[in-house]
Amino acid sequence: MKFGIIGLGYVGLATLCGLAKAGHEVIGVETHQGKLGLLKSGHPPFHEPGMADVLQEHADQITLTDEIANTEHVDYLILAVGTPSKPDGSCDLFYIETALSELKTKHKVVIRSSVPPGTTDLLKIMYPSHTFAIVPEFLQEGRALADVMKPHRVVIGCEDLEVAEELAGIYGRLGVPLICTTPINAELIKYASNAFLATKISFMNDLSRLADEAGADIMTIADGMGLDPRIGRSFLNAGIGYGGSCFPKDMDALLHVAKENDVNLRVIKAAVKVNDTQAEYVLSKLHLEPKTRVAILGLAFKPGTDDMRDAPSILLAHHMVARNVEVIGYDPIATWEYPQAASVEEALKGADYAILVTEWEELVNLAPEAFSGMRQRRLLDARNAWKFARDPGDVSYEGIGRMQRPSNTPTSN
């Protein structure tokens, strides 16, 4: 089959690569000339394992262009453009509406962009010449291509029976659970999934504050909880909070939709509040004074990507710079606006504190002697990921909720 994809960010490019690997012909549309130039040379504009190989190995199946008109004769047109947050938290559909307004012929349109409940039904009214379906993405940055080729499930939201059956046939070849439902259900499945994962993170971060005060170990607690199959171990790691391009934006959009429908999502609000205050809680563990030097180890919001959108490292830096604290960062591939070292050794040299923010293998495996160049060998592990936490040598180590000095341990008479 022949597919057109508008928008070649993480979702669009991962989808393009997956379709090409499956043997389809794909036309990718990207209006940003810098990104388009990189893609045409076989290089993705961001770090994502496997994508460069697909672009080069399947170049004969892939056409890259900045003209939407070149998608006129595709079997399906996939929308994967950005849907950023507006100041009020609502989802901005400008790029979706712009793309649809430029189409000159009738299309079967598949929405892969994250859109709030009711969007697909609204677009059907606004652009009645097209047939719409939504197939929400559940990609994880750092393994986006693998998630396209073998997702945990595929959700298809479409009220046109013929299109729904055809899409089910295409995605059914992946051999994964398949749900065909209404567009609004598919949209809400996407938002509810991200909201639940974000809430698991905030739940453990909230509990980590109690663990710190009571002298408990949040990692052991998470392991014990995770053995219950109704709970599961994933996303139970306490730390500095969630970031990235999806969770913050989707939580805001879900709350905005709830407000429009006069519904108070108390649990979601609480999860957001915990996340918004977690960076301050992490910093409260440090005794920061003006001119203190802090090395932030890991900048990207998660390992395996160079994505800095809503990265916790940025929030930490904002807080510290406002206190006249000297900040220097290090990351294997990501970059930011603050001073950045070319190596871990350079970042740690002369630092008073180090904060482990992103769980890159290089960073979680740093031996205690790696901190010898610091003015004071103090490590705050904001991900509870350092492999030497139980045997830190001469490094003064502190994690999040990890059996710190209890303030209320009962004493015997």
Burial 290-320 (b: 16+ CB within 10 A, else e): eebbbbbbbbbbbbbbbbbbbbbbbbbbebb
Spell out the SS3 assignment of the chain.
CEEEEECCCHHHHHHHHHHHHCCCEEEEECCCHHHHHHHHCCCCCCCCCCHHHHHHHCHHHEEEECCHHHHCCCCEEEECCCCCECCCCCECCHHHHHHHHCCCCCCEEEECCCCCCCHHHHHHHHCCCCEEEECCCCCCCCCHHHHHHCCCCEEEECCCHHHHHHHHHHHHCCCCCEEEECHHHHHHHHHHHHHHHHHHHHHHHHHHHHHHHHCCEHHHHHHHHHCCCCCCCCCCCCCCCCCCCCHHHHHHHHHHHHHHCCCCCHHHHHHHHHHHHHHHHHHCCCCCCCCCEEEEECCCCCCCCCCCCCCHHHHHHHHHHHCCCEEEEECCCCCCCCCECCCHHHHHCCCCEEEECCCCHHHHCCCHHHHCCCCCCEEEECCCCCCCCCCCCCCEEECCCECCCCCCCCCCC
Kindly report the number of other CB atoms within 10 A of residue 360's CB atom: 24
Confirm whether 91 is a catalytic residue: no
Distance, CA of 94 to CA of 121 (rounded, Å): 16
CA distances in angstroms from 17 to 21, 175, 389, listed in the order given? 6, 18, 40
Distance, CA of 149 to CA of 176 (rounded, Å): 10
- Which of these, 273, 253, 104, lies nearest to 190 by C-alpha position? 253
Catalytic residue among 17, 91, 158, 246: 246
Catalytic residue set: 246
